[in-house]
């Protein structure tokens, strides 16, 4: 019952990303439409159900749990869930409990997160210009996020910044973002914009291939490839002059699915074996049909992992978007 999860391509699944809500206090233009319809609350897994599901994955060998959304820190009582998961850190079953956040609520929660054993947070930040920030997030305030990042640092959390590379939006801030992170000791990862969910505007217009971004970086710094791999999709370089680490997530221009070790659980209990494919498994139905008995749940998880595909099919070549998926990033989490 507890044999590890291995997919048909011999990849061990040791990393679960769980979206705890589809809601958010921002409306980033590449992520959400301005007027989103969110799920009725009864559709969501309760915190107890989230606990039961995540704990089942941890028993099956998941070592790293990333909490995401939507904005995870706007889910009511979310600290109850973090506190519950910290027992798996204490027992040694879980190596890392972490989250991806827009940072708006970190002033309120950073200390509590640290007390739950969270050591690192990923904060999404696409610009350091307050007006541009308001434009891209529609509802966000840069000052609040920067204050949240300060709160995370004060609480002893390591901060990694995630920046979506957007043509015509943050190209001119490339060096400023790198220097800002360097001065604070933050790692920085750039992400190519992915075709997920209907939004206003055209993603192809926004697409800034990271090979171009990398070439721009090389005009100012010496980039040294970092061989170490985290099992994730990012590739890293170190800037020799500053020692800073910069990551690149390039699902479009170059995909690294062959070493994928992760699966994603939505806030309604659908398990997606790949971010870029539509196949899913309804774990909520199994969970609710079998209260008090996890054996059918474990079986359903194993059947799902046996269907994990080799990779995604995102493609912007030939000047049109292909391989897109209908759901928004906020459903499966980034
Ligand atoms: N709200 C949290 C945040 O913004 O960090 C967590 C969820 S958000 C969906 C996770 C990550 O996905 C963010 O870094 C965001 O920039 C990224 N993201 C959202 N839509 C995207 C898209 N279409 N292509 C690439 N990245 C996207
Ligand atoms: Fe919200 Fe994160 Fe999506 Fe922005 S990227 S709308 S902060 S879920």
Ligand nearest to the CA of residue 125, numbered in listed order: 1
φ/ψ (deg, to 5) at 8: -65, -15
What percent of the residues of the chain are helix, what percent strand, and what percent coil, each to the nearest 5?
A: 35, 20, 45
Probe residue for ligand 2, chosen from 21, 22, 25, 28 as the CB with the greatest number of ligand atoms within 8 Å: 28
Which ligand lies nearest the alpha carbon of 30? Answer: 1
Do residues 6 and 305 make contact, with C-beta atoms less than 8 angstroms apart? yes
Neighbours of 1 (CB within 10 A): 9
Strands in 166-304 per DSSP E: 187-192, 223-226, 235-239, 245-249, 262-265, 270-272, 280-282
Tell me how far the alpha carbon of residue 211 lies from the centroid of ligand 2, in angstroms. Answer: 25
Q: In this structure, which ligand is nearest to the CA of 249?
A: 1
Tell whether ligand 1 has an atom less than 6 A from the beta carbon of residue 100.
yes
Residue 90 CA to ligand 1 centre (angstroms)? 30
Q: Ligand 1 center to residue 203 CA distance, Å? A: 14
CA angle 213, 215, 217 (to 5 degrees): 70
Residues 6 or more apart in contact with residue 222 via CB below 8 angstroms: 239, 240, 241
N-term to C-term CA, the chain: 30
**Does the beta carbon of 69 lie inside 6 Å of ligand 1?**
yes
101 lines ligand 1 (CB under 6 A): yes
Question: Of 131, 214, 219, nearest to 169 (Cα)?
Answer: 131
Contact 321, 311 (CB under 8 A): no
State the Rg of the chain over Cα: 19
Pocket lining: 334 vs ligand 1, CB cutoff 6 Å: yes
CB-CB contact of 225 with 164 (8 Å)? no
* E strand or H helix at 296: helix 295-305
Residues contacting ligand 2 via CB (< 6 Å): 24, 26-28, 31-32, 69-71, 102, 124, 329-330
For residues 62 and 14, the answer to whether their CB atoms sit within 8 Å is yes
Q: Tell me if 150 sits within 8 A of 111, measured CB to CB.
A: no
Whether ligand 1 lies within 6 angstroms of the CB of 164 is answered as yes
The residues, ordered by sequence, that sit 6+ positions from 111 with a Cβ below 8 Å of its Cβ are 151, 155
From the CA of 25, which ligand is nearest? 2
Which atom of ligand 2 is found nearest the CA of 24? 1
Q: What is the pLDDT along the chain (334 residues), one digit of tens a residue?
A: 678 899 888 889 999 999 999 999 999 999 998 888 999 988 999 999 999 999 999 999 999 999 999 999 999 999 999 999 999 999 999 999 999 999 999 999 999 999 999 999 999 999 999 999 999 999 999 999 999 999 999 999 999 999 999 999 999 999 999 999 999 999 999 998 887 666 676 666 788 989 999 999 999 999 999 986 666 678 899 999 999 999 998 866 556 677 788 899 999 999 998 877 778 999 999 999 999 999 999 999 999 999 887 776 655 554 455 556 666 666 655 5
Atom 14, ligand 1: which residue's CA is nearest?
Answer: 124
pLDDT value at residue 247: 95
Question: Helix (H, G, I), strand (E, B), or coil: what is residue 293?
Answer: coil
CA 202-208-210 angle, 5° bins: 145
Residue 242 C-beta-side C-alpha neighbours within 13 Å: 20
pTM assigned to the model? 0.92
Ligand 1 pocket member 250 (CB < 6 A): no
Supply the pLDDT for residue 43.
93
Nearest CA to ligand 1 atom 4: 102
Residue with tokens 């479009």: 252
Residue 92 is predicted with a pLDDT of: 98
The preferred substitution site among 149, 164, 199, 331 for testing ligand 1, maximizing ligand atoms within 8 Å of CB, is 164
The CATH number of 15-332 is 3.20.20.70
Report which DSSP code applies to 221: S
> β-strand 187-192 against 223-226: which pairing, if any?
unpaired
CA separation for the pair 247, 183 (Å, rounded): 17
């Amino acid at each position: 019952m507890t044999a590890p999860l291995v997919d048909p391509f011999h990849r061990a699944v040791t990393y679960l990303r769980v979206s705890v809500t589809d809601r958010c206090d921002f409306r980033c233009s590449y992520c959400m439409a301005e007027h989103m319809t969110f799920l009725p609350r009864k559709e969501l897994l309760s915190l107890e159900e989230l606990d039961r599901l995540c704990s089942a994955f941890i028993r099956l060998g998941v070592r790293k749990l990333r909490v995401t959304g939507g904005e995870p820190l706007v889910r009511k009582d979310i600290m109850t869930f973090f506190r519950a998961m910290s027992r798996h850190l204490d027992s040694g079953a879980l190596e890392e409990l972490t989250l991806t956040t827009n940072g708006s609520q970190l002033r309120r929660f950073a200390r509590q997160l640290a007390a739950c054993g969270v050591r690192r947070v990923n904060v999404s930040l696409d610009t350091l210009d307050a007006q541009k920030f308001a434009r891209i997030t529609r509802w966000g305030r840069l000052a609040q996020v920067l204050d949240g990042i300060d709160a995370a640092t004060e609480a002893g959390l390591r901060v990694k910044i995630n920046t979506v590379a957007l043509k015509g939006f943050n190209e001119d801030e490339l060096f400023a973002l790198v220097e800002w992170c360097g001065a604070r000791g933050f790692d920085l990862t750039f992400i190519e914009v992915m075709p997920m969910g209907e939004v206003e505007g055209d993603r192809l217009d926004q697409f800034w291939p990271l090979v171009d971004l990398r070439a721009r970086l090389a005009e100012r710094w010496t980039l040294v490839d970092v061989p170490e791999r985290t099992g994730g999709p990012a590739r890293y370089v170190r800037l020799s002059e500053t020692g800073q680490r910069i990551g690149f997530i390039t699902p479009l221009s170059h995909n690294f699915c062959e070493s994928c070790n992760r699966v994603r659980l939505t806030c309604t209990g659908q398990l997606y074996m790949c971010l870029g494919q539509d196949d899913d498994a309804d774990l909520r139905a199994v969970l609710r049909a079998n209260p008090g008995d996890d054996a059918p749940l474990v079986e359903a998880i194993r059947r799902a992992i046996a269907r994990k595909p080799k990779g995604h099919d995102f493609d912007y070549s030939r000047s049109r978007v292909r391989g897109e998926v209908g759901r928004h990033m906020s459903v499966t989490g980034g």
